[in-house]
Amino acid sequence: METPKIIKSIIPVECPDCKKNIYISHHFSPPTIAWVLKKEDIDSAKKNILEKINHLKLDEKTLGEWTKWINMDETLFGPDEVDVIINEIKNYIKNS
């Protein structure tokens, strides 16, 4: 994947101290695509995480809340994020 090009703009402004014209250079990098997922990847990751949370020591209410969140259409994550989410759930259990 190509490295994104830096976009630079130069803006003339008046210096608040000396009142002379100065130029401010502003640089930014446009957003880039980190990865692309297929629906099957997302569904597989959700299935994987649901299997893993069933092995955690969660009470019915907590398990139901996590399951509901995972199954929401708006909840999107890929296979590489399953372990991160499981660790977050474990931290939640430990700190509750």
Name every residue whose Cβ is closer than 8 Å to that of residue 32 and which is 6 or more positions away in sequence.
1, 4
Which tens digits make up the pLDDT trace of 37-54? 899 999 999 999 999 999
Q: Are 23 and 15 in contact (CB under 8 A)?
A: no
Which tens digits make up the pLDDT trace of 19-41? 999 999 988 887 776 678 899 99
pTM to 2 decimal places: 0.61
What's the angle, vertex CA 11, arms to CA 8 and CA 12, rounded to 5? 150
- Sketch the domain layout of the chain as residue ranges: 39-95
Q: Residue 13: its pLDDT value, please? A: 92
Which tens digits make up the pLDDT trace of 43-87? 999 999 999 999 888 889 989 999 999 999 999 989 999 999 999
